[in-house]
Amino acid sequence: MVINSATFISDIVLFIREKLRTDITDPLSSRTGKFVMTSYPKRVTEYPIITVKATGIDTLKLGMQSELSWTTVDLEIRVWAKNAKQSDTLTANVINSLRQAQFGTDSTTDEEMFGFNLSSAVPVVEELNDTTIHSKVMTFTYKNILN
């Protein structure tokens, strides 16, 4: 998937979502829906799930006569699970998958994303409908040069 300058925000989010869907096995093999999504669920959800959202963007022109922009995209990836062990396992799977999702890591990568950085991983415990949900909110940064 090539990242297009006109749709780069959604392209990056969709690339990351698809990368995680490909690399991480859903612990609920009987589930028919997707377990990695691009928004928080609004309906009854069967945990675990993983959500991917763009939370910040910064661009910088690469010269006065250049059309190129150095772009930094912040992503929030949140693992939601029924217990801390499952949350920790899926969090490690996400980190391992994404640190390999950079330009030049294999011959099929044409996203030209690089500069992988995990800047935080914050555990959150919530009570939702009499159920305790353990989640890990991770903030990642990737860089990209847009044409």
**What does the pLDDT look like over 122-144, one tens digit per residue?**
999 998 778 899 999 999 998 88
Q: Is residue 1 part of a domain?
A: no
Domain assignment of residue 124, given as a range: 8-146
Whether residue 35 lies inside any domain: the answer is yes
Q: Is residue 24 part of a domain?
A: yes
Closest by CA to 93, choosing from 131, 47, 124, 48, is 48
* Model pLDDT for residues 84-121, shown as the tens digit of each residue: 999 999 999 999 998 876 654 454 455 677 888 999 99
The three-class DSSP label of residue 98 is helix
pLDDT digits (tens, 9 = 90+) for 7-21: 888 988 998 999 999
Region 45-53: what's the mean pLDDT? 93
CATH code, 80: 3.30.2000.10
Which sign, positive or negative, has the C-alpha torsion 122, 17, 53, 26? negative
Q: What predicted TM-score, i.e. pTM, was given to this entire model?
A: 0.86
3-state secondary structure of 40: coil
Q: Is residue 63 part of a domain?
A: yes
Number of domains in the chain: 1
